[in-house]
Amino acid sequence: MVTQPLKPNKIKFDIRHLKARYGNTEAIKDLSLQINANDIFTIIGPANSGKSTFLNSLNRLNDLNPNFKLTGTILMDDIDIYHNYNAELLRKKVGIIFALPTPLPLSIFDNVAYGPRMSGIKNKSTLMETVEKSLKESYLWDEVKDRLNTSAFNLSGGQQQRMCMARILAMNPEVILFDEPTSGLDPISTAKVEEAMLILKEKYTIILVTNNVAQASRVGDKTAFFLMGELVEVDDTKTIFQNPNEKRTEDYITGKFG
């Protein structure tokens, strides 16, 4: 695979004093952190810790909730995504994959080609190249190349999730957000998704929310621990799992709560 990695340690996201709430409920409390380009940045923590709120803030999905309010700054490549970005353009650059795969009622080919078509690409050979490339990057091509015109609903759950990855990749994003992408998958499918992530980080920045601490330890370059809307600590994944600074972090990763 030909890759063009960015310079080491280039900051992709710079988050400063982020606060978020839904009505009177505070979801994120004064959070500041940086995420390097071409890292897999994992976020762990129990339910209701603000993990998904944070993830959705990075491509402004929270904008769709009228009760949501955010203060602070999120810079992507030094550009404020809430004041200097069109939300639609941002979501092309920052794609998100959810816990449950969401195939469209179309063929496998048309699912992956859907975004490029909506962006105005009509040439069949260009669409075929895009679909093939995206399915290869999501580790699905060899399994579906002979049945691209069959319904996406005929795929297994793990295959549907990787197809949804391909659908995001077809839009040439810069960042891929994963919100519990393997929570409903079997171990073999989980391993394939994780293997894809480790290859994809050569070209993309990956941010993974997971309740599976073992998964975070396997794939993460850096890991952040969230608790009740607070960033407890963030560090290299090895340090977080072997020598955390906070007892709350140690208690969580060793299963004492959560």
So what's the pLDDT on residue 3? 43
Tally DSSP H helices, then E strands, for the chain: 10, 10
Tokens of 135: 């399915």
Residue 94 pLDDT greater than 80, yes or no: yes
- The 10s digit of each residue's pLDDT in 29-65 is 999 999 999 999 999 999 999 999 999 999 999 998 9
Mean pLDDT confidence for 71-79: 96
Residue 181 pLDDT greater than 80, yes or no: yes
- The 10s digit of each residue's pLDDT in 183-208 is 988 999 999 999 999 999 999 999 99
Domain boundaries, the chain: 11-102+175-253
Mean pLDDT estimate for the chain:
93
Mean pLDDT confidence for 122-144: 95
What does the alpha-carbon distance between residue 152 and residue 112 come to, in Å, rounded to a whole number?
10
Q: Which fold has domain 11-102+175-253?
A: Rossmann fold (3.40.50)
Q: How big is the chain, counted in residues?
A: 258
Mean pLDDT confidence for 211-223: 95
Mean pLDDT confidence for 102-121: 95
What does the alpha-carbon distance between residue 170 and residue 253 come to, in Å, rounded to a whole number?
35
So what's the pLDDT on residue 257? 78
What does the alpha-carbon distance between residue 56 and residue 64 come to, in Å, rounded to a whole number?
10
Residue 20 pLDDT greater than 60, yes or no: yes
Residue 8 pLDDT greater than 90, yes or no: no
So what's the pLDDT on residue 4? 45
